[in-house]
Amino acid sequence: MTDAQQHKRNDWLVVGKGAIGLLTACQLQQQGELIRLWLRQPTELQVAMTTVRGAVRRHHFAPWPKTQAARLAFIAVKAYDALPCIQQLQTQLAEDACVILSHNGLGTLTNIQAALKPRQQLWFLTTTHGAYTQSDCSKGHQLVHSGSGSSVIGKITPADSEAVPGWFDVLGQALGPLTLVERIQPCLWQKLLINCLINPLTALHQVPNGALAETRFEATLKKLFAEYCQLAAAAGYPQQETAAWQQLQQVISNTASNRSSMLQDRLAGRKTELDFITGFVLSEADRLGLALPAHQQLYQDCLAAGF
Ligand SMILES: NC(=O)c1ccc[n+]([C@@H]2O[C@H](COP(=O)([O-])OP(=O)(O)OC[C@H]3O[C@@H](n4cnc5c(N)ncnc54)[C@H](OP(=O)(O)O)[C@@H]3O)[C@@H](O)[C@H]2O)c1
């Protein structure tokens, strides 16, 4: 690393030892960024990361020192952990900290903004990169970058400072290609459409994504899709229906053999993000005075199945 790079490197607090957080931490460290982890139990962490090309890289992370205020925090946690995590982290964040949050689903941002101080900036990142972790006593903590993707980021708190933040390029190298958008909400509503159709259905029926192309799911998918489009339009995020339907079919076909994250969570006996996916859809419908019987039924079926 040259002196110039050394001088410019950013100092990141990265939360957790989960898949997306560690992927970001490893990729940023690889570019010479200073990364310390905020773990539930402060400890050093050795990670063996398998890249998408199958190479194995070793990374070592120190814990974030509690005496230091973080100016740059990357938080990729499950949606239900986002608010508790930021509340817990608040004493550790600088008055002008920049917080980058990433999770699937929607419905956390209002409370999170309220938990931040006036000069703290909130950014939201959504990614299609895929990763998973494995802990093996003999091999330590392992991270697999299972699929290369792209990411989109937007500022949630009002844009009062520089348009392109100083960390944008390194984050783009880590989780790129990275697109900076003025308004992230339309992207999140587009992604929610895919999530709220594929995730609960595949998790409920315990099938890989590709099974949704079978005729037995066609009528249900069409009803859920029509209701979603009605809701999104009422919420101010109208979908281009033909393109959105084609995109849904494409995701089902491109990820045919994949297990959705909700199915993986269900099979592993973990809490799912249902409340921030279908639950969010239903709470928005309620707010806007719409009835969405197909989503309501799906939500009830998931609860009855023990999600
Ligand atoms: N993995 C993917 O390929 C992928 C792709 C796109 C989007 N996403 C989305 O990205 C988000 C993160 O996914 P993920 O797969 O990275 O989840 P994950 O593997 O469960 O990682 C989250 C990590 O955050 C930790 N954590 C939560 N709250 C914390 C706190 N207060 N202090 C310290 N650590 C804390 C968790 O610890 P515990 O385990 O102890 O709770 C866990 O290690 C989810 O919304 C997911 O749907 C994932």
Nearest residue (by CA) to ligand 1, atom 26, is 16
Residue 124 has pLDDT above 70, yes or no: yes
Total number of residues shown for the chain: 307
Average pLDDT rounded to a whole number, residues 133-141: 77
Residue 61: both structure tokens together: 């992370």
Helix, coil or strand: residue 128: coil
- Which of 20, 93, 196, 265 should be mutated for ligand 1, with most atoms under 8 A from CB? 20
Task: Please write the tens of the pLDDT for every residue from 145-190.
Answer: 999 999 999 999 975 666 789 999 999 999 999 999 999 999 999 9
Ligand 1 residue neighbourhood (C-beta within 6 Å) = 15-21, 38-40, 76-79, 81, 85, 88, 102-104, 127, 130-133, 261, 273
Task: Please write the tens of the pLDDT for every residue from 187-208.
Answer: 999 999 999 999 999 999 999 9
Are 3-182 and 187-304 equal in CATH topology?
A: no
Each residue of 162-191: b (16+ CB within 10 Å) or e? eeebebbebbbebbbebebeeebbbbbbbb
Least Cα distance to 86 among 102, 72, 71, 99 occurs for: 99
Nearest-atom number in ligand 1 for the CA of 276 is 45
Task: Please write the tens of the pLDDT for every residue from 30-64.
Answer: 999 999 999 999 999 999 999 999 999 999 999 99
**Hey, what CATH topology would domain 187-304 get?**
N-(1-d-carboxylethyl)-l-norvaline Dehydrogenase; domain 2 (1.10.1040)
pLDDT of the residue at 159: 58
Least Cα distance to 27 among 178, 184, 163, 139 occurs for: 178
Q: Where are the beta strands (DSSP E) in 32-150?
A: 34-38, 45-50, 56-63, 70-76, 93-102, 121-127, 130-136, 140-147
Which residue, chain included where needed, has tokens 């209701």? 227
Task: Please write the tens of the pLDDT for every residue from 291-306.
Answer: 999 999 999 999 999 9
pLDDT of the residue at 4: 47
Q: What are phi and psi of 289, to 5 degrees?
A: 70, 35
* CATH number at 3-182: 3.40.50.720
Residue 14 has pLDDT above 50, yes or no: yes
Residue 135 has pLDDT above 90, yes or no: no
Nearest-atom number in ligand 1 for the CA of 88 is 31
Report domain extents, the chain. Answer: 3-182, 187-304
Query: How many angstroms does the Cα of residue 222 sit away from the middle of ligand 1?
Result: 31
What residues form DSSP beta bridges with 130? 147
Query: How many angstroms does the Cα of residue 16 sit away from the middle of ligand 1?
Result: 7
Q: What are phi and psi of 85, to 5 degrees?
A: -65, -45
Average pLDDT rounded to a whole number, residues 212-217: 98
Q: How far apart are CA 80 and CA 90, in angstroms?
A: 17
pLDDT of the residue at 139: 67
Average pLDDT rounded to a whole number, residues 81-86: 98
Mean of per-residue pLDDT scores for the chain: 95
The residues, any chain, with a CB within 8 Å of residue 248's CB and separated by 6 or more, are 193, 194, 197, 198, 221, 225
Task: Please write the tens of the pLDDT for every residue from 269-291.
Answer: 999 999 999 999 999 999 999 99
